[in-house]
Amino acid sequence: MPGHRDPFAASAAELGGIAAEMGIDAAEIAARRAFLELEEADAQRLRAMRDKLAAAHHGFADGFYEYLRRLPELAALLPDDATVARLKAAHGRYFDSLVAGDYGEAYVAGRLRVGMTHARIGLTPKWYVGAFRKYLSDMLRATWDATGGEFESFQPAFDALLKVVMLDLGLTLDTYIHADTRAIALRDRAIESSVNGIFIADATPPECRLSYVNAAFSNILGSPREAVLGQPCLCTGDDDGFAVIRDAIAAGRDGYTTLSRTRPDGSPQWIELFLAPVRGDGGVISHYVGILNDVTERKEAEAQLAFLAHHDRLTGLPNRAYFDQRLGQVLAGANRGQGFALCFVDLDRFKVINDSLGHGAGDAVLVEVARRIAGVCRGGDTLVRLAGDEFVILIEGAGESGDAAAVAERVLQALSRPVSAAGRDVDVAASLGIALCPDDGRDAETLLRNADAAMYAAKAAGRNTFRFYDEAMNRRARLRLSFEADLRRAAARGQLELFYQPQLRGDDGALVGAEALLRWRHPERGLVSPLEFIPVAEEAGIIAELGEWALREAARQIADWRRRGVAVPRVAVNLSARQFHAPDLVERVTRILAEAEVPSAWIELEITESTAMQDPAGAVRMLQRLREHGLEVAMDDFGTGHSSLGMLRTLPIDVLKLDRSFVQHLPASGTDAAVATAVVTLARQLGLAVVAEGVETPAQRAFLADLGCDRLQGFLFARPLPAAEVEAWLLRHRGDAGSGSRAGRAPILAGISSCTTPS
């Protein structure tokens, strides 16, 4: 204990507080002395011997510490000679005070100091009692000598010393008891104040009745304390959710489970429960202590995420992941002669609705269209939203055209009535394409391709109709081939360009980067939407070339910006599935960056959930290789239905992009708020940054910023802009930040409304 303060030191205020708590005042001291018959005559006898016992006290201290250092339990408290010397001096003063003859309040305070010190350093009362025993034994001869060797003088003198020792011993033991009482009271207050529900149950089977519950227990279960005490422990219920706990009780070990119950008001509740046995003498279990928490909000958020893994967030319909599973099952039946049909449904001119009325109105139309189509499907059919305004109906048991045509007619009839959106009636129509199994294909890829071709045939026939797949469609497919040919030559002809959408920091609106978005400016069609040419590029097998062009152009642009002092910290570039799974992806990316003299830190790569989930193990290996080269990767469109939370934990990604479908109804939707909170919390636990897409309102921005979302992106701040317009936007944004307002809290949109290209 070198360097520590005197172990017997304590502040007067501390000692006064302890004495007051213990009720040791002048009256109590007088009462204790009277009980011990410690009178003034005793004090006089001890004062008379004080000088004669001084040498004996010092001799006792030397021998006493030699004895203590031979005991393993105490040797650790006496590590060196300096410590022993300091303690011997302190104890010398202590034992000298025993015969000082002053046993009032100051003396009692000193005794309390000793008890406090021993309790603080962990010296149990048995050592204190043993020390006094040895002291009295050693002082026996010294007292005999000090009284002249006459029993008549020795007996009252030693009796006086014994009275003082007993006074000390009583005070010190009371200090230990008081310390234990304070510790127990503190523990009780902590348990009672805990936000976790805590209970104690007797181990008497079969009911294990409750003997203690804290306030949080009553609050969580909605039952008053007096109503549950003495009742059977909830761990003994018959519900299957208790099986794990019952097994733990039977085995005498800890148990953990999550339970579903119904609150007194009838609402569902999820309880997380931990139970542990308490063993008494001989290892026999005497009680059980349990901790429970209300995890209803977490379970509901998890259930929502699980639902979204196989369902479309906007319409609630099954999504592509669910469709792929179901189609595989139905194809297995088709191999046994059970035919079926696939009906593609694509809304006609839906882009006009989005562009003229806004995405909110477009979403309202999609929700109503989904409701109407679902209403006319047969009980065994499966309606799925694939993406955007594309739906597909899996019509089971319809190997002939008649049943499929009847479903298609009902769909067209259901969509014939206008849909109310944005305060007006919107006319909606659709083109439907039907492929029959086995006539038009016996595998998923062929059937999907042929149903898609039939849908394009319906559009070519004037829209708002349906067509079955037939060989004549191959001729009409040549039109698409021409489109593909133009797309293949677009880069060489200088028709491709990148638009950039800024990403701002959530807390203060500072620019943290921009996402690069590919655009095709066709000489006849004008600016072609990515929704039109990206699927064609994927089908034509040229998506990798387009993606590589986009990465090279993004690297060139950020290098140019940096050279000219344009403060764009980082550009995010999308990778297609074909690019990501290419064996030489890392070599291609690093070569492009090296040619542009761009550090890895300036570029962020984005992949979608579906891209990663095509080959999870391969995705992990590829992501690790990219990380080794200093490249960060963001997962785009998180929550749209492909990845599992367990798989997400294993993917070495850096950024999670919260899909706009999670953002668009914030903060009004409690469910969306819970899901957004769960996603951000999950990202925090995994050490990931979070980018929220589709931020369109100040309320959404404020909610996400307060939630701790790292980056924000959306029309509230800027639409995707050509490079030159991005520079102009940056100047306005920097000016807005420098005006004293928080950037992003009052985003500047003036001057960019002319660019209406969707992200």
Least confident of 11-15, 394-398, 402-406, 469-473: 11-15
Q: Which amino acid is at 694?
A: G
pLDDT of residue 612 exceeding 90: no
Buried/exposed code over 198-236 (b: 16+ C-beta within 10 A; e: otherwise):
bbbbebeeeebebebbbebbbebbeeeeeebeeeebbbb
Q: Report pTM.
A: 0.43
**Is residue 57 very low, low, confident or very high in pLDDT (cuts 50, 70, 90)?**
confident
* Number of Cβ within a 10 Å radius of residue 395: 26
Residue 429's pLDDT is what? 92
Share of the chain above pLDDT 90, in %: 29
pLDDT for 730 beyond 80: yes
303 vs 441 pLDDT, higher one? 441
Grade residue 606 by pLDDT with cuts at 50, 70 and 90: very high
Please report the pLDDT score of residue 645 as a whole number: 63
| pLDDT of the residue at 745 | 38
Amino acid 275: pLDDT: 85
CA neighbor of 58 nearest in space, from 92, 86, 85, 82: 92
Q: What is the mean pLDDT of the chain?
A: 82
Average pLDDT over residues 337-359: 85
pLDDT band at residue 371 using 50, 70 and 90 as cut-offs: very high
The CA distance from 414 to 392, in Å, is 15
Per-residue model confidence (pLDDT) at position 473: 55
Does 535 score more than 70 pLDDT?
Answer: yes
Residue 611's nearest CA partner among 573, 638, 650, 572 is 638
pLDDT reported for residue 148: 86
Query: By mean pLDDT, which of 357-366, 542-551, 657-666, 741-750 is the weakest?
Result: 741-750
β-pairing verdict for 466-468 and 711-712: unpaired
Which tokens belong to 194? 């805990």
Using pLDDT thresholds of 50, 70 and 90, give the confidence band for residue 366.
very high
pLDDT of residue 121: 59
The predicted pLDDT at position 474 comes to 47
pLDDT digits (tens, 9 = 90+) for 159-209: 988 888 888 888 878 777 776 666 666 666 767 777 788 888 888 777 778
At residue 553, the pLDDT reads: 96
Give mean pLDDT, residues 272-278. Answer: 86
733-757 per-residue burial string, b: 16 or more CB within 10 A, e: under 16: beebbeeeeebbeebbeeebeeeeb
Least confident of 191-205, 420-434, 490-504, 626-640: 191-205
Comparing 148-152, 368-372, 450-454, the range with the smallest average pLDDT is: 148-152
Backbone conformation region of residue 421, classed left if phi is above 0, alpha if psi is from -120 to 50, else beta = beta
Instruction: Tell me the pLDDT band of 496, cut-offs 50, 70 and 90.
Output: very high
**pLDDT, position 531:** 86
pLDDT reading at 527 higher than 50: yes
What percent of the chain lies above the pLDDT cut of 70?
Answer: 86
Which carries the bigger pLDDT value, residue 430 or residue 747? 430
Band (pLDDT 50/70/90 cuts) for residue 478 is low
- Residues 587-615 as b/e (b if ≥16 CB within 10 A, e otherwise) read ebbeebbeebebebebbbbbbbbbbbbee
Whole-angstrom CA distances from 596 to 557, 585, 625 are: 9, 17, 21
pLDDT band of residue 587 (cuts 50, 70, 90) is very high
